[in-house]
Amino acid sequence: MKRTGPTPGLLRDIGEFGFIDRVKRRFGGPARPGEIGIGDDAAVLPSPAGKVVLSTDLLVEGTHFDLRYFLPEELGWRALSANLSDLAAMGASPVCYLVALAAPPHATVKLLEGIFRGMARAARPSGIRLMGGDTCLGEKIVLSITVMGKVRAGRAITRTGAKPGDILFVTGEPGWSRLGLRLLSGGRPRKPSGWMRKAMRRHLEPVARCEEGAGAAGCGAVSAMIDLSDGLLPDLSHLLAPGGMGAILNEKAFRLSPGFRKAAKELGEDPMAAFLAGGEDYELLMAVRPHRHDAFLRASRKFPAGAFPIGVVTRKGGVRVHRADGSWLAGLELPSGFSHFSSFAPSVAAAGNRSPRRRN
């Protein structure tokens, strides 16, 4: 990001082209040999070997996010991370992204560039680059991100390949995002403690599991994969649905660390419910072929977020959880998913907010 002097005031002061020019200079980065980036009619880049993977998302102010409660950087970060997570869930490595933006003329350039800065920060770990987009005036902010990734031919992992007997693995520590949302719904704490900072970061700045997804695709042991956006149980049901399959999950195997339990207790949340139904964690859920288990374990040692087994796919439908005390949970006793993406707007907006946009 290059310094370009003081930020101009409003979008209407610099207009569409002035804004695009700034986006190009500050966020576009230099094109690589053989590439044409922002500035021409379209972007050009060498076609990657293997398969191209594409995904797009649309976010509308007031419906998906509310900038009274979230910083522009956080919106940008989350929006790009959610897209990267979709690539990761296919086993694809990120290549480039495009951003289409509508904004009212009275939007400040600072706010809009904050959104781009958040995206640029979320892009950094995977090296994905902004290669183009579209900008126009609109009544409210509408943000559409398109990501492109690549994967070796025959290696993309879909949601539909799981079979009975496959072992279910999940990356990272699902549930933290739910705890962060719960904390934020009471307003941002003025002096956040360690667990509070972790919970807020996991909600506001989730990290897409790109290395884990690509590693899963590369090891040849993963039969199906999905990213956790709605919650572990609701997203698991997508993996199980194709064959009318079910799963047995083992509570003793869940990663409910002492820090996680403490945070849940402070917030009055059931740790297992947050783990199983939290949502918006952007972890990856993988089904692993039992006879390729060793290959998976070798690959997963390199996952920055780690991966741990939580249960097994069964031929019989329905999900059952074997509790640590020996009892079973099934059907309506299971926690259901918390409402997806509401965290950007109504749920937080509704809760009397003390200091909505305070940075921790």
Residues that bind Mg ion (CB under 5 A): 134
Asked if 147 touches ligand ADP (CB under 6 A), the answer is no
Q: From the list 11, 38, 143, 226, which residue makes contact with ligand ADP (rule: CB under 6 A)?
A: 38
The answer to whether 146 contacts ligand ADP (rule: CB under 6 A) is no
| Contact (CB, 8 A) for 246 and 317 | yes
Pick from ligand ADP, Mg ion, none: which does 132 bind, CB < 5 to 8 A by kind? ligand ADP
Alpha-carbon span 86 to 84, nearest angstrom: 5
Task: Give the residue with the Cβ less far from Mg ion, 19 or 260.
Answer: 19
Residue 201: burial class (beta carbons within 10 Å; 0-12, 13-18, 19+): middle
| CB-CB contact of 349 with 64 (8 Å) | no
Asked whether position 249 contacts ligand ADP by CB under 6 A, the answer is no
Q: Rounded to an integer, what distance in angstroms lies between the CA atom of residue 174 and that of residue 182?
A: 14
Compare residues 81 and 177 and give the one whose CB is closer to ligand ADP.
Answer: 81
Q: Which amino acid is at 259?
A: G
- Say if residues 290 and 167 touch (Cβ distance below 8 Å): yes
Q: Shortest Cβ distance from residue 34 to Mg ion (Å)?
A: 24
Please report whether residue 20 would count as binding ligand ADP according to CB under 6 A: yes
Quick one: which of 11, 23, 82, 273 contacts ligand ADP (CB under 6 A)? Answer: 23
According to CB under 6 A, which one of 132, 213, 279, 337 is a site residue for ligand ADP? 132
Residue from 54, 68, 127, 134 that binds ligand ADP (CB under 6 A)? 134
Choice between 54 and 136, CB closer to Mg ion: 136
Cβ partners under 8 Å of residue 15, min gap 6:
none
180 touches ligand ADP (CB under 6 A): no
What is the torsion angle, in degrees rounded to the nearest 10, for the CA atoms of residue 335, residue 337, residue 339 and residue 344?
110
- The piece of 128-136, 221-229, 261-269, 288-296 that touches ligand ADP (CB under 6 A) is 128-136
Residues β-bridged to residue 132: 98
Least distance (Å) between residue 6 CB and ligand ADP: 21
> Using the rule CB under 6 A, is 99 a contact of ligand ADP?
yes
d(CA 50, CA 150): 7
Task: Please state the closest distance from residue 123 (CB atom) to ligand ADP, in A.
Answer: 12
Whether 242 contacts 95, CB under 8 Å: no
- What does each C-alpha distance from 17 to 39, 145, 189, 246 come to in angstroms? 10, 19, 40, 54
Cα separation of 213 and 225, whole Å? Answer: 8
Among 15, 39, 105, 317, binds ligand ADP (CB under 6 A): 39
Interacting residues toward ligand ADP by CB under 6 A: 20, 23, 38-41, 99, 101, 130, 132-135
